[in-house]
Structure 1
């Protein structure tokens, strides 16, 4: 089980580094979940998030976001 914390979209500016798992199976209405983690394998973390939060999603991608100083 991965360690992560879901972050509300309006709160992401408070994090220097955060990640987005974008569910892409509905191209007209993509959905994103934002999270922070100390884990190294983002694909495993994203898979755990999908399994727990959106169990029917089959197509998704992980996008890292880093704040520029």
Structure 2
């Protein structure tokens, strides 16, 4: 099981590195979940997040974000 922590969009500035799972299934209502993890396989982590929090969603993408130094 992948280890991750969901974070609120307004709280991402407190993290040096975070990731976004952008749900691309419904382009009229875009939605994203933000998370942090130490796992190497981001696709596996994102799949776990979708399964846990948005079951039934089949189209999504992972976007890494890094705070500029």
Q: TM-score, normalised by structure 1?
A: 0.98
**What's the offset of the Cα at 1:56?**
1.2
| Match in the other structure for 1:2 | 2
| Match in the other structure for 2:21 | 21
Unaligned runs of at least 5 residues, structure 2? none
User: Secondary structure at 2:68's aligned position in 1?
Assistant: coil
What is the correspondence of 1:1-69 to structure 2 with a 5 Å cutoff? 1-69=1-69
The whole-number CA distance in structure 1 between the counterparts of 2:23 and 2:10 is: 19
User: Secondary structure at 2:47's aligned position in 1?
Assistant: helix
The whole-number CA distance in structure 1 between the counterparts of 2:43 and 2:26 is: 20
The whole-number CA distance in structure 2 between the counterparts of 1:48 and 1:56 is: 12
* CA RMSD, Structure 1 to Structure 2 (Å): 0.4
Q: How many residues end up aligned between the 2 structures?
A: 69
Unaligned runs of at least 5 residues, structure 1? none
Q: TM-score, normalised by structure 2?
A: 0.98
